[in-house]
């Protein structure tokens, strides 16, 4: 196996994302978890840029790494209080958790080892922005204006719910 610059960058990004993802789910502080999630989303944008999908990488940075992470932090700061205490993990929950982790790692290893992921199979480049815009905002088959509007309503409902929960206190 030959180590090219693209492969080294991909491996660095992949290790960075895996470490940050593990830290996001294992940290005891919720704001740190949101910060590690931000790093995972930035790493995902890095992989998009590496594949020369600049539009998708920019959307990843703006929408997910920027907007969603700010929404998470805003919601956390609105709804959490100093009196919130974390629960200790009970012994009866450790075994099912470990079994779930082993099953997840097994499925991931099976998928990775069964398939070949070579950079020569990826076609570098992207569609024109005009084509992407028509697909996202069109009303026809395989066009996404309705899911886009549903997601915007869901985010609006989350913001309103966070404000209502914060006002009750």
For residue 86, what pLDDT band results from cuts at 50, 70 and 90? low
The distance from CA 75 to its chain's CA centroid, rounded to whole angstroms, is 17
Distance CA 83, CA 102 (A): 35
Distance CA 128, CA 140 (A): 19
- pLDDT value at residue 120: 57
- pLDDT value at residue 91: 72
Nearest to 97 by CA among 44, 26, 35: 26
- Out of 1.10.3720.10, 3.30.420.40, 1.20.120.1200, 3.40.462.20, which CATH number does the structure's domain 1-80+100-122 have? 1.20.120.1200
The encoded tokens of residue 71 equal: 């929404």
The encoded tokens of residue 89 equal: 């993990």
Contacts of 97 (CB under 8 A, 6+ apart): 89
For residue 97, what pLDDT band results from cuts at 50, 70 and 90? confident
pLDDT (tens digit per residue) in 3-16: 788 888 999 999 99
pLDDT (tens digit per residue) in 38-66: 999 999 999 989 888 888 888 888 888 88
Distance CA 94, CA 100 (A): 10
pLDDT (tens digit per residue) in 126-167: 677 777 777 777 777 777 777 778 888 888 888 888 787 777
pTM for the full predicted model: 0.62
């Amino acid at each position: 196996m030959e180590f090219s610059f693209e492969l080294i960058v991909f491996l660095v990004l992949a290790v960075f994302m895996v470490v940050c993802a593990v830290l996001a789910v294992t940290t005891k502080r919720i704001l740190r978890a949101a910060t590690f999630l931000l790093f995972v989303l930035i790493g995902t944008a890095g992989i998009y840029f590496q594949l020369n999908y600049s539009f998708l990488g920019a959307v990843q940075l703006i929408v997910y790494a920027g907007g969603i992470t700010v929404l998470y932090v805003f919601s956390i700061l609105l709804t959490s209080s100093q009196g919130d205490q974390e629960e200790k993990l009970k012994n009866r929950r450790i075994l099912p958790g470990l079994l779930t982790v082993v099953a997840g790692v097994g499925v991931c290893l099976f998928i990775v080892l069964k398939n070949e992921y070579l950079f020569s199979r990826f076609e570098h480049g992207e569609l024109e922005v005009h084509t992407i815009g028509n697909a996202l905002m069109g009303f026809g088959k395989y066009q996404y204006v309705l899911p886009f509007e549903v997601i915007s309503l869901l985010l609006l409902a989350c913001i309103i719910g966070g404000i209502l929960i914060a006002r009750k206190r």
